[in-house]
Amino acid sequence: MGRVAYTDSDVALVARMMRAEAEGEGQLGMLMVGNVIVNRLVANCLDFKDLRSIYDVIFQIQGGNYSFEAVQKGNVFYNRARGVEKKLARRVLEHWREHPSKYALWYFNPYAPCPPTWYGQPFAGQYKLHCYYEPQANTCDSVYIG
C-alpha cells in the first residue's frame, strides 16, 4: 500500500500537476511538487483539514482562489500526463519523500531569495526556483508520520 489510497485518475492528475508546476525543474523538481500534494492529503491539519482525495487537494480553494497556481491559471489542463510523469507520480504516491519537500506543505517561486517563513511557517529548503515550507513544530504532526 502506498502513502495514500489512489486510482489511475489520481496518478494522471498528480502527474499533470507535477508537469504544470515544475517541468522546468526536471524530474526531481516534479517529484518534490508531487510530494507536497501527498503531504497535504495526509496532513489533516492547518489549511488542509478534511481533504479526502487527491482531487480535493488539487482543487482546494483557499481565500477565494485555488491553492495551486497551475489550477488558477488553467495550465494544469494544457497538457496530458506523459508516461514519465505518471511514473514519477506513482513513486510519490507510493513512497518517495526527500528534503526539502519531505515534510513540506507549501512551495512557491518567489522570483527572489526564499523568505525565512511563508505565512508563519518555517523555510525547509530550496530546490532550483521553488522554496519549500514545513509546518511549525507541534502544529501538524501527521505530516511527519509515514
3-23 confidence digits (pLDDT tens)? 999 999 999 999 999 999 999
Whether the bond between 100 and the residue before it is cis, its omega within 30 degrees of 0, is yes
Residue 53 in any domain: the answer is yes
Q: Considering the entire predicted model, what is its pTM? A: 0.96
Residue 104 in any domain: the answer is yes
pLDDT at 135 over 70: yes
- Cβ contact 107:34 at 8 Å: no
Residue 94 corresponds to which cell in the numbers above?
507510493
Residue 114 in any domain: the answer is yes
Residue 22 in any domain: the answer is yes
Domain limits for position 79: 8-144
- CATH number, domain at 15? 1.10.10.2520
Phi and psi, residue 58, nearest 5°: -65, -40
Q: How far is CA 127 from the centre of its chain?
A: 13
pLDDT at 125 over 90: yes
Total count of domains within the chain: 1
Residue 1 in any domain: the answer is no
Residue 2 in any domain: the answer is no
Q: Quote the mean pLDDT of the chain.
A: 94
